[in-house]
Amino acid sequence: MKNFLRSVVLSITLLLAFSANAEPMRNGKWEVTTQTIMPHVLTQLPAHKDILCVSDKNRSRPPIAVHESCEFYDYKITNNDASWQMKCKGEMNMNGAGRIVFSANSYRGSAIIKMKMPQSEPMEIDHTYSGKRIGDC
């Protein structure tokens, strides 16, 4: 419940922050910063940056870096708000949902991923994303 409320507050904040800038996300090279928060882990993982190329060919998925075993579905864009579901197969079975709110040159968002590794209890992992357009691909 705590994670749900956190997601609702983040979503409302993002919606209000970007609603005045309802522009489509531009194609180009994007620097994406991902912060992973794992509950009950004393030492948090450092944020990491990825460079992605957004083009007409990959607009059917969110502009975030994920493992190649992950698939997105129910990806929807309404105005400047994108949401999705995801499922990852393999050794680490994961599924989750996320949302980003974007302008032409930046975005912020989050996802909650549920993961089950062999011989461990299921866990929920929070991701926050920020992206900025840094040029053409």
pLDDT in the model for residue 126: 94
Per-residue pLDDT of the chain (137 residues; tens, 9 = 90+): 455 444 433 443 444 344 444 567 899 999 999 999 988 777 888 999 999 999 999 888 999 998 888 999 999 999 999 999 999 987 778 999 999 999 999 999 999 999 877 777 888 999 999 999 999 99
DSSP string of 28-72? EEEEEEEEEE-TT-SSPPPPEEEEEEE-GGGTTS-SS---TTEEE
Alpha carbon of residue 65 to chain centroid: 8
Residue 112 · residue 128 · CB < 8 Å:
no
Residue 53 · residue 29 · CB < 8 Å:
yes
pTM of the predicted model as reported, rounded to 2 decimal places: 0.76
Residue 115 · residue 93 · CB < 8 Å:
yes
Residue 44 · residue 38 · CB < 8 Å:
yes
Q: How many domains does the chain have?
A: 1
pLDDT in the model for residue 115: 87
Domain that residue 79 falls in: 2-135
